[in-house]
Chain A
Amino acid sequence: MGGPITDAIQIVHAPVGCAYYTWATRRHLSDQYAWSLPGKLDNVAFNRRYCVVTDMEEKDVVFGGSKKLLKSALESIKLFPEATGVIMYTTCTSGLIGDDIGSVAKQIEQETGKLVFFAEAPGCSGVSQSKGHHVANRQFFGQINEIRRKQPERVTPEEERTPYDIILVGEYNMDWDLKVILPLMEKIGVRVLSTFTGNARMMDLVRLPDTKLNVVHCQRSATYIADMIKEGYDIPYVKASFFGIQQTNKALRTITRHFGLDELAEKVIAEETARIQPALDWYRERLKGKTVAIYVGGPRVWHWIKLMEELGMKVVAGACTFAHEDDYEKINSRAPDGMLIIDNPNEFEVEELLETCKPDIFLCGLKEKFLGRKMGIPTLNSHSYEKGPYAGYVGFINFARDIYQALGAPVWSLVNGKEE
């Protein structure tokens, strides 16, 4: 959740591996760069460029790692003075030995005057990343309040606000989804102050409560903070999905209704749907009647049932890695007859799912996509996409294109043992 924030030094307080695996795992997600050489901005964005870790060793486990964390943070601020601040994360190791990250954060603040955020979500403290999302929401919100109280000058001045300010909450800028969402927002007459947390700056976190409306995209991981902002600052939020035509239409209408800009939404919807219609028809012609199984993180299963219908396809099975009860209620309410729904299946269960439902295509994550292919079933990385963005109207065409490419590839007809 903190990872997409661009101008922060992201410090993982752990043995080296915990940080190594999170480094450079996604494509470029942000637009803020450190100078690689004088006059040269040619590389990945700042937050993915450096992987910073305290490298806890046996002696730190025995004697405590707080000092090491403090020293590491101060050194990295010296090494990367261009960063606005630091975001620190605890892990199993630092969590279990009980390092007091809160007091380290205070010390860093006092010594450097930089912004400091932290999240204490050791892997062994919860069932999945969902717990981590919740912790980060809660702790970041607390830290935001603290900073605003102590440093009121950081709050957005009145003259910089407009009545049409929104923040996209739970939008992580997967494969530059923002590149399609932001122009839509501009066209419907609202101003996007920032996102939580795709391509966000640290100051955007501090200024989260300075919006007029929060628009919650990933409703599993970020409704928490929208709720807290509503409660603490009396700022309303709406839920919206930018996947597929109907849902994007609905999202635009929901947002504009709040601001009395309904006509703009209708105009944009008419323009955009007309623009993509020929492409959509082309893909739908080739995809209709195909069956789909979906296995992704949380809300996307229920977001995507509609999408597949828009492509003329039918969802025959759905599964989530970290969905909660309310997600499954939504899946159930949208599920077509006979759809199989499983919570967090392991690989064997995925194999059984594919064997039983025999979908024409399997939308899943990186770890499952190679398994599906071994069984002769086309797959698509739906977590971080094959060739995104997938959001909004044109993004939907990208999605359709990638599904068509996966399904239509001649390799599947060359596989032995297939009925032909």
Chain B
Amino acid sequence: MSSNCQPIPIEGIAYNQLKIEKKPIVPEYVPRDPVLVPKANRTVVVNPSRTCMPFGAMFAGLGMHRGLPFVQGAQGCTTYVRYTFCRIFQEPASIANASFHEDAAVFGGRKNFIEGMRNLIVRYHPDVVTVVTTCSSEIIGDDMVSFIKAARKRLIKELGEEEGNRPKLVLVNTPSFAGSHIVGYDRASRAFLETLAQDHSKPNNRINILPGMVMPGDLRELKHMLREMGVDAYILFDISDVFDTPLMPPQTLPYYPEGGTRVAEVEDMGNSIATFALCQNEGGLGARYLEQKFEIPAFIGPMPMGVKNTDLFLKRVSEVTGREIPKSLKDERGRLLDFMADTLHHTMMKRVAIFGDPDIATGITRFACELGMEPVAVMSGTKTKTFTADIEGIVGEFGFKPLILNGSDLFELEESLKTMPVDVIIGNSKGADIAKELQVPLVRAGLFVYDRVGYHKRPVIGYRGGERLLADLVNAIMDFSYPEERTQQL
């Protein structure tokens, strides 16, 4: 149907016709007080680059097959997190909530939990429920261990031994005042393994992978690499077919995505030959637990991004499984190197600022260095014990000395970049304002990318993820800074 045949008489008022006259809040530019710019010099946080601990536990819980998180707190604790998942992935995310009101705040959340859990299980028949605590339940002092026992009793009474015992309940304590979403995910990885993984008696010749909060595209790339190597793996938590699912109605109700890690897989993870936590801060706890409990060797970080980190990951997988790295993967490596050689005039000596969650920021920093870029500032929103040393280690190899912000906020990063110009920023959507103000391109990478479509569908890990990131990077730089006559020829 051509619009020429049947023209629409008028559009209402198109977005680009909305002329909003920008009014300055004060007549003159106000420079920010330099004393208060460093986060270390102030109490207040301005433009944080991290969110709450329950977020990480809910992310994990949704990565289980027929898995539902149950949040012991007020409705907002769930609504906002669901909203965020919807924004990032453009997918539904079902999360249950104890719906705290005034009476729960005064008398505790026991009744809400037991009734709520009963309703959830009777209605939804989940395989596993992640019990996620919140600031309020932790402050009130809800005794979740005893609540879970009481809920189980109630379920058995109503549904019988078998059905009442069937759904697994995994408790993750996530008081947000004690850490960020990174910590929530990390704790969930240990909680699931502690609760579900069984003894080390039936070797399965598989490896465990705790990927951290990566995207569906990353997990598909990971599975691709393992498939090429002929390695069988369990992935905890596998959100690839949860947060990127096909439109294929009709389904049975209630809607569950087809993906997610199976309970039986987690149970068998105690029998694996090695555990790889791709992000040391998001899954490292789980890997260490398996090492201590079942003596399963743990390989924790770095995230397999860029050349050397991917090399290291594949080499370790090859060593523990005895499988060789196949030609197909070596070819992928070669293609990435070829791409790097073909684009080096666009990347060499480019000054870059990098921010995000600690592990991806570290991974990107190494890759940026491999591309001949100069990291000028590197920031992790969540403070970790090793971030500063990790970054120093990487940039030291290449002779750079960036500003390293370990657990700071985007306000400090932004104000710092006003005095240390960069050519490009790599980080999540929260950097869009900064990039716009500094008039440099923002290459989106990380967990909170919600203002562009399709980011989550493609990888940033592995050699092919490197190709993708490199293409995004060079195209962004070219779109932004090249005079028109150069666009016809690279």
Assembly CA distance A366 to B180 (angstroms): 25
Contact B10–A21 (Cβ < 8 Å): no
Whether A289 sits at the interface, judged by CB under 8 Å, is no
Give Cα A401–Cα B178 distance, bound, in whole angstroms: 47
Interface with A: B27-35, B282-290, B298-306, B460-468, which one?
Answer: B27-35
State in angstroms the CA–CA spacing of A233 and B415 once bound together: 46
Query: A35 → chain B, closest Cβ, in Å?
Result: 4
Per-residue CB contact flags for chain B residues 16-55 toward chain A (1 = under 8 Å, else 0) read: 0010111111101110110010000011111110111111
Q: Mark A385-414, 1 if CB is under 8 A from B, else 0.
A: 001010000111111110000000001000
Q: How many residues of B contact A (CB 8 A)?
A: 88
Q: B399 within 8 Å of A by Cβ? A: no
B residues in contact with A91, CB < 8 Å: 135
Chain A residues with Cβ below 8 Å from B8 are: 279, 282, 401
In Å, the complex CA distance between A71 and B77 comes to 26
How far is B140's CA from A57's CA once the two chains are assembled, in angstroms?
A: 16
* Chain B residues with CB under 8 A of A416: 248
Q: Which residue on B lies nearest to A92, using beta carbons? A: B136
Q: Which residues of A contact B36 (CB under 8 A)?
A: 75, 78-79
Query: A348 and B52: CB pair below 8 A?
Result: no
Total residue contacts A-B, CB cutoff 8 A: 284
- Given A35-B24, A93-B136, A179-B18, A17–B250 Cβ distance below 8 Å? no
Q: Which residues of A contact B456 (CB under 8 A)?
A: none
Taking the closest CB of chain B, its distance from the CB of A89, in whole angstroms, is 12
**At the interface, yes or no: B15 with Cβ under 8 Å from chain A?**
yes
A157 on interface, CB distance cutoff 8 Å: no
User: Which residue of A has the minimal Cβ distance to B105?
Assistant: A124
Q: A389 contacts which of B13, B83, B105 (Cβ < 8 Å)?
A: B13
Distance of B140 from chain A, by nearest CB (Å): 7
- B436 CB contacts on chain A under 8 angstroms: 36, 42-43
A375→B12 contact, CB < 8 A: no
Nearest opposing residue in chain A for B41, CB measure: A75
**Assembled-state Cα–Cα distance A46/B54 (Å):** 29
Interchain CB contact under 8 A, B253 and A367: no
Q: Mark B80-108, 1 if CB is under 8 A from A, else 0.
A: 11111011001111100001111011000
Chain A contacts for B81, CB-based, 8 A: 21
Name the contact of B25 in the complex, choosing from A22, A83, A93, A123 (C-beta under 8 A).
A83
A270 within 8 A of B: no
Q: Which residues of A contact B74 (CB under 8 A)?
A: 92, 122-124
B482 in the interface (beta carbon within 8 A): no
**A61 within 8 Å of B by Cβ?**
yes
In whole angstroms, how far apart are the Cα atoms of A125 and B100 in the complex? 7
Also in contact, A366 and B87, with CB within 8 A (given A16-B48, A17-B53, A375-B255): yes
A-B contact pairs, 28 of them (CB 8 A): A6-B25, A16-B52, A21-B51, A21-B83, A35-B29, A38-B29, A42-B436, A49-B433, A50-B411, A53-B45, A53-B48, A56-B177, A58-B175, A72-B44, A91-B135, A93-B135, A93-B176, A126-B101, A127-B75, A347-B94, A348-B254, A366-B86, A374-B247, A374-B249, A394-B12, A398-B12, A417-B248, A417-B250
Given contacts A35-B30, A122-B105, A415-B247, 10 further A-B contacts (CB under 8 A): A17-B180, A43-B436, A61-B177, A72-B43, A79-B44, A93-B176, A368-B92, A370-B91, A375-B249, A411-B247
Give the interface of B toward A (CB within 8 A).
6, 8-15, 18, 20-26, 28-30, 32-33, 36, 42-48, 50-55, 73-77, 79-84, 86-87, 90-94, 99-102, 104-105, 123-124, 134-136, 139-140, 175-178, 180-181, 245, 247-251, 253-255, 411, 418, 430, 433, 436-437
